Copies of this chain bind each other. A is one copy, B any other.
């Protein structure tokens, strides 16, 4: 499967993995801390992180004992662009995105 989009969507299809991505949206996290809120083994979370890394949705960097997980926005963008082609004939999302642009500009995310 040389196709880059399939692993991205497959990774996003699992609610646990989407929850992990939402957590990483706030900050980079160690594997153990990622696993903490979930009712499943650390090994299971480790596998989920592997799937996300294979899809290039995250990267992992080892510093000492701890492996830090970090969002990788590029893969999101590729998939998002593909999807936008299917919404484009509907004017509604243009409005929505203009509204988003406005809030993004008037209320920029703090560092």
Q: Contact residues of A with B, CB < 8 Å?
A: 1, 3, 5-7, 9-10, 12-15, 18, 21, 25, 71, 73, 76-77, 79-90, 92-94, 96-97, 100-101, 104, 109
- A3 contacts B15, CB within 8 Å? yes
**Beta-carbon nearest neighbor of A83 in chain B:** B80
What B residues does A71 contact at CB under 8 A? Answer: 86
Q: A5-B15, A25-B85, A84-B100 are in contact. List 4 more A-B contacts (CB 8 A).
A: A9-B13, A21-B86, A88-B109, A97-B97
21 A–B contacts from the bound complex (CB under 8 Å): A3-B15, A5-B12, A5-B18, A7-B13, A9-B9, A9-B12, A10-B10, A12-B83, A13-B13, A21-B86, A25-B85, A77-B93, A79-B83, A80-B83, A81-B93, A81-B96, A83-B83, A84-B100, A88-B104, A94-B101, A94-B104
